[in-house]
Each structure stands twice: as structure tokens, then as C-alpha cells.
């Protein structure tokens, strides 16, 4: 599995990392704890989002 750099999810998608490292990308969105108020993506690591907001 290819390790992803510490980039935000929206940048990873723009850089085509989603298609290149699908399994690693899935790990970032499994059991999400945060939602991005800017782009609407979810992640289990708030550092991966533009404007993270904790999910309750």
C-alpha cells in the first residue's frame, strides 16, 4: 500500500492520489470523526480536512 503524504483530502483528490492509492485513501475515511465545513469530506484525522468540525 502506498503511503500518502500529510495532505488534505481535497488536495489528494486533485493530485489523483485517490486513483493511485485507493486502499490508503479508504483508511482515511473509515469511521470518520470529522467533517470539513468547506468541502464536505469526512475523515478520521482532522488534519486531513480544510475546515474540520468534530462529528458528534
Q: What is the longest distance spanned by two Cα atoms in the chain?
A: 31
| Residue among 54, 53, 51 nearest 10 (CA) | 51
Domain boundaries, the chain: 9-54
Q: Contact, 29 vs 44, CB < 8 A? A: yes
The reported pTM is 0.79
How do residues 3-55 score in pLDDT, each as one tens digit?
677 888 888 877 777 778 888 889 989 999 999 999 999 999 999 999 999 99
Amino acid at each position: 500500500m502506498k503511503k500518502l503524504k500529510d495532505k488534505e483530502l481535497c488536495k489528494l483528490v486533485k493530485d489523483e492520489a485517490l486513483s493511485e492509492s485507493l486502499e490508503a485513501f479508504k483508511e482515511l475515511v473509515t469511521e470518520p470523526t470529522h467533517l470539513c465545513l468547506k468541502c464536505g469530506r469526512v475523515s478520521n484525522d482532522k488534519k486531513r480536512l480544510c475546515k474540520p468540525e468534530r462529528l458528534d
